[in-house]
Amino acid sequence: MKRKAGNFILFIAKAMLVFVILAMFFIGQTYYYEQTLYYFWGNNIIILLYIAILYLISRIYNGFSHGTASIQEIIISWILCLIVVNVFMYFTLSLLVTFMLPLRGFIFILVAQTAFVVPMSLVINMLYYSINPALSTIIIYGDIEKLQIYRKMIAKQRKRFRVMGVISQHEHVGPILDAINKVKSVFFLDVEEAKLEGLLEYCYLNDKHTHVVPSFSRILYNAAGTIWLSNSPVFSLKKPPPDISAQMTKRLMDIVLSLAGIILTSPIMIIIALSVRLYDKHPAIYKQTRVTRGGRLFTLFKFRSMKPDAEDDGVPRLTAKDDERITPVGHFIRRTRLDELPQLFNVLSGSMSIVGPRPERPEIAKQYEEQYPNFIFRTKVKAGITGFAQIFGRYNTPPEDKLFLDIMYIETFSILQDLKLMLQTVRVLFQSDSTQGVEDDSTTALK
């Protein structure tokens, strides 16, 4: 009963957040833009449009992802959401009155909304964790190396999980079931399929929060379609390739967006090019061979962020955490992702797409494929600037996890998903750990 009351209070707090955002927009519109006000039904349509766009963009940016995202990510998500929604409404209202409205009103609305959203998000976050304390958790594992990696990651989520212990899948079933009975949450890491099925059934029967770290086959199941044989469901793992209209739409989007991006960012690119050039008198553009669809090689363009002799030893390597090869200008453009702007020319030429798996260097891709043969499956589609692995992973994400993220993208492709990923990419620019390098003694992301 107490939990139901708490969840109701949480719902009221979230509804209040949305209501105040909407009220601030309407008050700002009334005060600054009287010419955009209409009769009763006209104003209602504007308000409904604002609510619809706010709902859509907040879902894309996961503004209400309390319990699964950090408070910093939630606040950044809401700020980006408000920017996108208010920019959309600014141009919509300007089109309705057939001239560009003064910006000061929307700047006031945005500032007021942000000043309210930040503390309100903190309050909602505190409410969430007071109602939903950390779950007592055990980890059932098959691979000791993977256990060490995931135990650290789970331990970092201390507001969500309280690890009470670990137990091997090779233990007798009795002690495993006893351990499950004592907790509310269970993680399964590389547990054999035959054992996993029985344990999942037991967890389901006993209402345990269950988390399974996927294998390659389970990633495919996640994206599988369903067919019916008489009254029996069957997973269908072989999806047809995108039809010609989807492929043409994706390519048209690439051309339009890359061309617009080049035009809009050309002043920034000129400044960066001059800064890189003036620092050490060497070329500003760095060219590197990468792998794309079907294993085809192409030349990728980036702004040079490292010293010109960074790989004079002939050993291809990823950037390390404290890499001395990075120049002062390079640190800034890497952290802000501005070093990737020249890749818009790769997209325009057709060697890359806006959305797709991140292209690897052939030498490093070969090393990954030796340990993870399925890694080559990432080249089923054209390489891209952004995608699942770039948004939900990191620069130093292990290759197996990067493979799983890219397969999820490939198997669930749609134009709408591409648009969603493009919007989500903006949030990555504000995550400082997204460009974190590999360990200083490593040349790849292999552990």
Find the mean pLDDT for residues 91-118: 93
| Phi, psi of 330, rounded to the nearest 5 degrees | -60, -40
Which of the 8 DSSP states describes residue 5? H
What pLDDT score was predicted for residue 437?
46
End-to-end CA distance of the chain: 47
Find the mean pLDDT for residues 3-16: 87
Q: Report how far residue 379's alpha carbon sits from residue 406's, in angstroms, rounded to the nearest whole number.
A: 10
Which of the 8 DSSP states describes residue 171? S
Q: Is 108 exposed, middle or buried (0-12, 13-18, 19+ CB in 10 A)?
A: middle
For the domain 135-213, what is the CATH superfamily, name and number?
GTPase HflX, N-terminal domain (3.40.50.11060)
Confidence of residue 436 (pLDDT cuts 50, 70, 90): low
Residue 440 has pLDDT above 70, yes or no: no
Find the mean pLDDT for residues 8-27: 93
Which pLDDT tens digit goes with each residue over 316-362?
667 766 677 888 888 898 888 899 999 999 999 999 999 999 999 99
**Closest alpha carbon to 407 in 234, 150, 215, 243:** 215
CA distances from 348 to 213, 286, 295 (A): 37, 18, 20
Q: Report how far residue 279's alpha carbon sits from residue 306's, in angstroms, rounded to the nearest whole number.
A: 11
For all residues of the chain together, what is the average pLDDT? 87
What pLDDT score was predicted for residue 438?
47
Which of the 8 DSSP states describes residue 379? G
Residue extents of the structural domains in the chain: 2-131, 135-213, 244-435
127 token code pair: 């409410």
Least confident window among 126-130, 213-217, 300-304:
213-217
Radius of gyration of the chain (CA): 25
Write out the H or E segment, with its range, that includes residue 335: helix 328-335
Confidence of residue 239 (pLDDT cuts 50, 70, 90): low
| Phi, psi of 420, rounded to the nearest 5 degrees | -65, -45
Which of the 8 DSSP states describes residue 207? T
Does residue 129 contact residue 179 with C-beta atoms inside 8 Å? no
Least confident window among 240-249, 262-271, 274-283:
240-249
Say what the pTM is: 0.81
- Pairing, β 209-212 against β 185-189: parallel
